[in-house]
Amino acid sequence: MLIALIARDKPGALQIRKDTRAEHLAYIEATGVVAQAGPLIEGGEMAGSLVILDVADMAAAEDWAANDPYARAGLFDNVELIEWKKVIG
């Protein structure tokens, strides 16, 4: 099941993102469920995340999201998890 995680950073939280980035990337590599990922950009700066998870079910996506170092560091203002269907690419 593919799940799109769409997260918006808290205002003024760019330094949290920068400080936690290496841990977040290591988590992505260690978990092995991220199909695609990258930052959302606003005004030339990172302002959120789009992550496509390939997981068994929504509960697994919720668990992944809760344990993401970015989430644990308090980076996000809000997070959406939405089932996604790949059509192109």
- Measured distance between the N- and C-terminal CA atoms of the chain, rounded to whole angstroms: 16
Question: Rg of the chain over CA atoms, in angstroms?
Answer: 13
**Cβ atoms within 10 Å of 11's Cβ, excluding its own:** 8
* Distance between CA atoms of residues 83 and 13, nearest Å: 27
pLDDT mean over 80-85: 98
DSSP 8-state symbol, 42:
E
Express each pLDDT in 8-20 by its tens digit: 999 999 999 999 9
Assessment of whether the complete model's pTM goes beyond 0.85: yes
Overall fold of domain 2-83: Alpha-Beta Plaits (3.30.70)
Q: Are 9 and 17 in contact (CB under 8 A)?
A: yes
What digits encode the pLDDT tens for the residues 19-71?
Answer: 999 999 999 999 999 999 999 999 999 999 999 999 999 999 999 999 999 99
Residue-level pLDDT at 74: 97
